[in-house]
C-alpha cells in the first residue's frame, strides 16, 4: 500500500511549452515517444511499461481531436531496415492498450507515409516504423528532420529516455515546428530537477552501480543539498580502497581513487553523513553455484570479490532512511540479476518503499530492481531514463529539453 509523502510537484521548472499549451483540434501532432521495449526471440514484448507511460499524452491528444503521429526508435538497427527491430509488435500492443485502431506505417518518411497522414481523421493514431531504420536519425541529418517535420503541425517530445541524444527526432524537428513537452517528459523534469534544486529535508541519496566515474557528476551536483549519501554496488569499493583498505579482487577504478577520496572529504566538510558497506557477499566468480560468503568489508580475502552488500549493511542503510523526507536512488547494490547477489538490492528497495518520504528511483537497472522486488507501486516516482536521468541529476541541460519552444512569460 502506498504510504509515501507526495508533496505537490515542484513549481514549473520547465519554462517550455507543454502539450496543454497547444490547440490540438484538427492538427497533425508528431509525438516522439520512447517505445524501445524489450522483445523475446519470437518478437513478443516482454515489458510494456514504456508504452503505458506514454498513454496519458497520447490519450490527451486523441481527446483534443488531434491527428496523432507517433514515432520511436527500437534497438540498434544501424541505419537500415531490420525486421528484428520493427515496431509492428508495438503497434499491436498499443492498439490493445488504447482500445482503438492504430495505423502502422511501413516507414517514417516518404510518399507512402505522407499518403497515410493525409488521409487521417481527427482522433486517428498512426505509428511510424522505426526511426533508426534511417541513418539520418542518429546523425541528426537536416533533410531527414525536415521530412519528419513536414508530416505535422506541432511537435511533442514525450521520450525522456532519449532526451539526452542530439538525434533528428529529438533536436532536429523542433527547428521547424512549435515544440512542446508531453506529460511524461514534464513529470520527469519536475521530479528530478525539483529533488536536486529544492528537496524536502532530510534528503538522502542512495547511489550504486559499478563505477564511481558514472556518478561523480551526480555527487558533485547534490553535495550542497543532500543530508546523507549511501553508497553501495561496485562503486563502493573504489571509495573503500581510496581510504587505504584492502578489497580483494573487488571492482576498483584505480584512476578514480583520488577523486573518490576528494568527494568523500568534501561531503564530510559539508556535514553530509556518508555511508559505505560494513559487510558484503563475496564469491570467486559469477558462475552459477559458485561458493559465497558474508564477510566484513575490511576482511575480503585475495581472490574473492564483493558482489552485493551484506545483511548488516542492508540494516544500516534501512536505519539511515528512517527519518528521510526525500529519497533519491540510482544504481543497484550488487549484481542483483543473479539470485545469490540480489538480496541487498531488494532489501534497499523494500526500505525505500516503506519510507514515509517522497521517493524517486532513477536509472534502468534500479527501475528493474524495484519491479523485481515487487515494490514499484510504493515508489512516488520511477524515472524512465538511464543516461538522461543521470545528466539531469548532474545539473546538465538535455538537448531534447533545450530544443523545445520557450514558454512566453
Task: Render pLDDT for 176-189 as a digit per residue (tens, 0 to 9).
Answer: 999 999 999 999 99
| CATH number of 129's domain | 3.40.50.1260
Q: Are residues 64 and 149 in the same domain?
A: yes
Residues 327 and 193 in one domain: yes
Rounded to two decimals, the pTM is 0.89
User: How many domains would you assign to the chain?
Assistant: 2
Same domain assignment for residues 348 and 259: yes
- Is there a domain that residue 217 lies in? yes
Residue ranges making up the domain that contains 351: 188-393
260 shares its domain with 368:
yes
- Residue whose C-alpha cell is 549484481: 335
Tens digit of each residue's pLDDT, the chain (409 residues): 444 444 444 455 678 999 999 999 999 999 999 999 999 999 999 989 899 999 999 999 999 999 999 999 999 999 999 999 999 999 999 999 999 999 999 999 999 999 999 999 999 999 999 999 999 999 999 999 999 999 999 999 999 999 999 999 999 999 999 999 999 999 999 888 888 888 999 999 999 998 888 888 899 888 888 999 999 999 999 999 999 999 999 999 999 999 999 999 999 999 999 999 999 999 999 987 899 999 999 999 999 999 999 999 999 999 999 999 999 999 999 999 999 999 999 999 999 999 999 999 987 689 889 999 999 999 999 998 888 888 888 888 899 999 999 998 5
Are 120 and 32 in the same domain?
yes
- Measured CA to CA, the distance from residue 247 to residue 370 in angstroms comes to 28
- Same domain, residue pair 240 and 339: yes
Do residues 193 and 262 both lie within one domain?
Answer: yes
- Domain assignment present for residue 300? The answer is yes
Q: Does residue 4 fall inside a structural domain? A: no
The predicted structure's pLDDT at residue 364: 67
Q: Of 128, 160, 181, which one is at a domain's C-terminal end?
A: 181
Same domain, 197 and 149: no
Grid cell locating 22: 497547444
Assigned domain for 14 exists:
no
In a domain, 6, yes or no: no
CB 265 within 8 A of CB 365: no
For 204-249, write each residue's pLDDT tens digit: 999 999 888 888 889 988 888 899 999 999 999 999 999 999 999 9
Kindly state whether residues 307 and 334 are assigned to the same domain.
yes
Which residues are known catalytic residues? 50, 211, 364, 387
C-alpha to C-alpha distance for 91 and 58, rounded to whole angstroms: 13
Torsion of CA 359, 363, 368, 371, to 10 degrees: 20
Residue finishing a domain among 157, 181, 205: 181
Quote the pLDDT of residue 88: 97
Residue ranges of alpha helices (H) inside 45-182 are: 49-53, 55-63, 88-98, 111-118, 135-138, 142-149
- 341 lies in a domain? yes
Residues 254, 293, single domain; the answer is yes
Q: Are residues 177 and 192 in the same domain?
A: no
Question: What's the pLDDT score for residue 201?
Answer: 92
Look up cell 527547428; give the residue: 175
Task: Kindly state whether residues 170 and 199 are assigned to the same domain.
Answer: no
pLDDT of residue 12: 55
Last residue of a domain, one of 136, 154, 181: 181
Residue-level pLDDT at 387: 86
Amino acid at each position: 500500500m502506498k504510504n509515501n509523502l507526495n508533496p505537490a510537484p515542484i513549481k514549473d521548472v520547465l519554462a517550455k511549452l507543454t502539450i496543454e499549451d497547444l490547440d490540438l483540434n484538427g492538427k497533425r501532432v508528431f509525438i516522439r515517444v520512447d517505445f524501445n521495449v524489450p522483445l523475446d526471440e519470437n518478437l513478443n514484448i516482454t515489458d510494456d511499461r514504456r508504452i503505458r507511460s506514454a498513454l496519458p499524452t497520447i490519450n490527451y491528444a486523441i481527446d483534443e481531436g488531434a491527428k496523432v503521429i507517433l514515432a520511436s526508435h527500437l534497438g540498434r538497427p544501424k541505419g537500415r531496415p531490420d525486421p528484428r527491430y520493427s515496431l509492428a509488435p508495438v503497434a499491436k500492443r498499443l492498439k490493445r492498450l488504447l482500445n482503438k485502431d492504430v495505423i502502422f506505417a511501413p516507414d517514417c518518411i516518404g510518399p507512402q507515409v505522407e499518403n497515410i497522414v493525409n488521409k487521417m481523421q481527427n482522433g486517428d493514431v498512426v505509428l511510424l516504423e522505426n526511426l533508426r531504420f534511417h541513418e539520418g536519425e542518429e546523425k541528426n541529418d537536416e533533410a531527414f528532420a525536415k521530412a519528419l517535420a513536414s508530416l505535422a503541425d506541432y511537435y511533442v517530445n514525450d521520450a525522456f529516455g532519449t532526451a539526452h541524444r542530439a538525434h533528428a527526432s529529438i533536436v532536429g524537428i523542433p527547428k521547424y515546428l512549435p515544440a512542446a513537452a508531453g506529460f511524461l517528459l514534464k513529470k520527469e523534469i519536475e521530479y528530478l530537477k525539483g529533488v536536486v534544486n529544492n528537496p524536502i529535508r532530510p534528503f538522502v541519496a542512495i547511489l550504486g552501480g559499478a563505477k564511481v566515474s558514472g556518478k561523480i557528476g551526480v555527487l558533485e551536483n547534490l553535495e550542497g543539498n543532500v543530508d546523507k549519501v549511501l553508497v553501495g554496488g561496485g562503486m563502493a569499493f573504489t571509495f573503500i580502497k581510496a581510504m587505504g583498505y584492502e578489497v580483494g579482487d573487488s571492482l576498483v577504478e584505480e584512476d578514480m581513487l583520488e577523486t573518490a577520496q576528494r568527494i568523500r572529504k568534501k561531503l564530510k566538510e559539508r556535514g553530509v553523513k556518508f555511508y559505505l558497506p560494513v559487510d558484503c557477499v563475496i564469491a570467486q566468480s559469477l558462475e552459477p553455484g559458485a561458493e559465497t560468503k558474508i564477510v566484513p568489508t575490511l576482511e575480503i580475502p585475495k581472490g574473492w570479490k564483493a558482489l552485493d552488500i551484506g545483511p548488516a549493511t542492508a540494516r544500516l542503510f534501512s536505519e539511515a532512511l528512517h527519518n528521510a523526507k526525500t529519497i533519491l536512488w540510482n544504481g543497484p547494490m550488487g549484481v542483483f540479476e543473479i539470485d545469490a547477489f540480489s538480496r541487498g538490492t531488494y532489501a534497499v528497495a523494500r526500505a525505500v518503499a516503506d519510507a514515509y518520504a517522497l521517493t524517486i528511483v532513477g536509472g534502468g537497472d534500479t527501475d528493474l530492481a524495484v519491479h523485481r522486488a515487487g515494490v514499484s507501486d510504493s515508489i512516488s516516482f520511477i524515472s524512465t531514463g538511464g543516461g538522461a536521468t543521470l545528466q539531469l541529476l548532474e545539473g546538465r541541460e538535455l538537448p531534447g529539453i533545450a530544443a523545445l519552444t520557450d514558454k512566453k512569460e
